[in-house]
Structure 1
Amino acid sequence: MSVGIQSTGAFFPSTVETAADLAMKTGIPEQVIVEKFGLVQKHVADDSLHASDLAIAAGKQALEGIDPLAIDVVIYFGSPHKDYTVWSSAPKIQHALGATNAYAFEIMNVSSCFPIALKVAKDMIVADSSIQNVLLVAGCRESQIVDYTNPRSRFMFNFADGGTAALVTRNSSVSEVLASAVLTDGSFHDDVRAVAGGSKHFASHETVEKNLHYIDVKDPQSMKERLDPVSISNFEQVIRQALQKSGHTPQDVSLLLPLHTKRSMFKELLRALELPEERAIYLSHHGHMSSLDPCVGLHLAQQEGRLKKGDLAVAVSAGTGYTWAATVIRWLGE
């Protein structure tokens, strides 16, 4: 029995912010934003679209030609910045998609979550013979929580909005999900967070006035000094481990599907794996959408015809906290 991704979906709001627009907001030169940070433009949602709406739009694409009643499980793996706090978006998404035979729940590990969600979906199908189809869905509106006036966090201007989905099925004819590897270094747990809104700093006039509901970095220099020495090596470790468990090496990789990072980190990872840039998807026109990036990359790769029968793709991401994760996918379709 093989378990694989049968179909994908992606949805982006129509409003676009260019590098020139971001230069005006941040004071960072447009050329630096494009060349150093690798961002030409990003999509930004208006007040009519929230994380659940973006996930639903992508889910509808992934289910085109498929009876939603055949879905057994709906899992939301997207941004924790959702329509409401203390609220699960998964039931709303299940209902809107008409997947009324499915139970629905959420998993969340910020930006690292897609490779983990693939592992969870595969493991559920392998462990439970009654599960045939698991729909992974995600939305992101994290452009909304960037404070462009905060020098500690304005480098996160690549945070963008969108939705994505992947239908994971038993005996997929399109792809096979192979092995995964996950690594967590919890010493980074306090470096990045939206300070207010939780139980520690409950929402108040003071938290609003102090802009504490935006994403913030406690001490950027300290985080950089601790993160830079381990980031690439941890990316490389989970990729190599997932490949080894799948019976492969980096030389077998046809396409790397990473999260959006600054260009220097992207190139350094490729060098570590000895992969040319044409064997990777870089989201220069989409930016960073929390956990969505590798799934969006897979969807774009399919649209562009960049995967053929026998190809090996690796979805890899990392999320603050800090967790690195990778999952290997073998392409079965033409």
Structure 2
Amino acid sequence: MSVRRAAPVGCGHYLPERVVENAEFAATLDTSDEWIRSRSGIERRRFAAPDEKTSDLATHAARAALANAGMEANELDAIILATATPDQTFPSTATRVQHALGMTRGFAFDVQAVCAGFIFALSTANSMIVSGQARNVMVIGAETFTRIMDWTDRSTCVLFGDGAGALILSADEGEGTLADRGVLATRLHSDGAHNQLLYVDGGPSATQTVGVLRMEGRKVFQHAVQKLAEVAHEAMEAVGARPEDIDWMVPHQANIRIIEATARKTGLPMEKVVVTVQNHGNTSAASIPLALSEAAAEGRIRRGDLLLMEAIGGGLAWGAALVRW
């Protein structure tokens, strides 16, 4: 039976020029390179320049994805941008990217599910393509989390960085089997009861301020490992896939301990896990497309590979996607 699939046709990423090594934090905080590495696996991260906005990072990644796909901006029907650090309260950052690319047709909008944002945006793009509403959709994850850090809080400010990644999905035909190329399954969840575990203490309605990030790291870790393993198995079970069928897991790059523990509970060896957290830190919604684009550019991810992507963020919101490259 022929079915409509949303297949990946191009990806790209962008990282700001400024590299911040762990040792740089020791000048202002009671921390060290060893302390940060041992707890997170992070060695360095990128900081956006003062005049760089989230839309700028996203536009660079979008252009790279278009070049990789051999497409022009006006071939896109939609741009869905996942971010928790928009340029403005409104309009959407996606419309700024649309304009910067010279895209004069279609539509663009933002999705906000924090670190899980790319998975939520990917699921939305897949639904639009499968339903026939769109044929070519660009999904972007872009963040400037360094703009919402409390630089006196050593437990959080050393973890985050800035960056952007983009993936283009196009309508394709499949047979409705696990062998099809494209998005095979997505599973999404949220639970607002855990709001206080990871949040920003500001907002236009509540405080009329931007606010800074607050996190209860130990509790987030416990929820992350359990929920990510569960949702990964949900996505696999939806299409009859087994852990041994997975070629690569591309997880949210938050913390090496979370990545390792989730891989174990999912039944995957670390040799099958794409890890970039050491060089990027936690880039929230940008982390999966950044890791995806780097691994593809390096030739590790190849056409036909079965990818398992999963992420969890504030909300709590979490999800997974199974995609045949």
* TM-score in terms of structure 2 length: 0.90
Kindly indicate whether residue 285 of structure 2 is the aligned counterpart of residue 280 of structure 1: no
Q: What residue identity is the alignment partner of 1:53?
A: D
**Are 2:245 and 1:239 aligned?**
no
2:151 aligned counterpart, secondary structure: coil
Contact 1:122 1:177 in 2 (8 A): yes
2:84 is aligned with 1:83: no
1:253-332 maps to which residues of 2 (within 5 A)?
Answer: 253-283=246-276, 284-331=278-325
Q: Deviations over 1:132-180 (max 9, x none)?
A: 10111232110122112136xx334221111111111112899411101
In 1, the alpha carbon distance for the partners of 2:29 and 2:40 equals 13
Deviation at 1:293, TM superposition (A): 0.9
CA–CA distance in structure 2, aligned partners of residues 244 and 109 of structure 1? 24
Unaligned runs of 5+ in 2: 175-179
Question: How far apart are 1:87 and its partner, in Å?
Answer: 3.1
SS of the equivalent of 2:7 reads strand
Work out the percentage of aligned pairs sharing the same amino acid: 26
Task: Tell me the equivalent position of 2:241.
Answer: 248
In structure 2, the CA distance between the partners of 1:100 and 1:186, relative to structure 1 (3 Å rule), is same
CA distance in 1, matches of 2:271, 2:173: 27
What does residue range 121-140 of structure 1 map to in structure 2 within 5 Å?
121-128=125-132, 131-140=134-143
Which residue does the alignment assign to 1:162? 163
Name the counterpart of 1:206: none
Contact map agreement 2:224 2:258 (CA 8 A) in 1: no
1:180 pairs with 2:178: no
Please tell me the residue identity of whatever aligns with 1:29.
S
For 1:234, give the aligned amino acid: K
SS in 2 for 1:101: coil
Cα distance, 1:139–1:231 mapped onto 2, change above 3 Å: closer
Task: Give the letter aligned to residue 252 of structure 1.
Answer: D
Question: Cα offset for 1:232?
Answer: 1.4
> Can you list the C-alpha shifts for 1:167-218, whole angstroms capped at 9, x where unaligned?
1111289941110112222211233322234221124xxxxxxxx722123x
Number of corresponding residues: 314
> What whole-Å deviation, never above 9, does each CA across 1:269-306 have from its counterpart, x for those lacking one?
12112222121111210111111111111101101111
Question: Hey, what does 2:78 align to over in structure 1?
Answer: 73
- Give the CA deviation at 1:315: 1.2
TM-score (norm 1): 0.88
Structure 2 CA distance for aligned equivalents of residues 268 and 179 of structure 1? 23
Instruction: Compare 235-244 and 308-317 and name the one that shifted more.
Output: 308-317
| Contact 1:111-1:319 at 8 Å conserved across structures | yes
Alpha carbons of structure 1 residues 27 and 172: separation in structure 2 relative to 1, 3 Å: farther
Mapped pair 1:93 → 2:110:
no
AA in 2 matched with 1:281 = V
Question: How far has the Cα of 1:328 moved from its partner?
Answer: 0.5
| Separation in structure 2 between the aligned mates of residue 76 and residue 309 of structure 1, nearest angstrom | 25
For 1:201 and 1:238, the matched residues in 2 are separated by 34
1:196 to 185, 202, 209: 202
Alpha-carbon distance in 2 for matches of 1:60, 1:22: 33
Amino acid at match of 1:54: L
The amino acid that maps onto 2:101 is L
The whole-number CA distance in structure 1 between the counterparts of 2:233 and 2:74 is 38
Kept in 2: contact 1:143–1:157 (CA 8 A): no
Per-residue CA deviations over 1:11-45 (Å, capped at 9, x if unaligned) read 01110000111333432221121232111110101
CA contact 2:198–2:313 (8 Å) conserved in 1? no
Residue 172 and residue 300 in structure 1: after superposition, are their counterparts in 2 closer, same or farther (change >3 A)? farther
List structure 1 runs of 4+ shifted beyond 6 angstroms: none
Residue 158 to residue 230, structure 1, CA distance change in 2 (3 Å): closer
Corresponding letter in the other structure for 1:189: N
RMSD: 2.0
Aligned to 2:202, the other structure's residue is in SS state: coil
Instruction: Measure the CA separation in 2 of the matches of 1:172 and 1:19.
Output: 47
Distance in 2, matches of 1:164 and 1:86, equals 22
Aligned 8 A contact 1:7 1:63 in 2: yes
Which residue type is aligned with residue 166 of structure 2?
A: A
Does residue 14 of structure 2 align to residue 11 of structure 1? Answer: yes
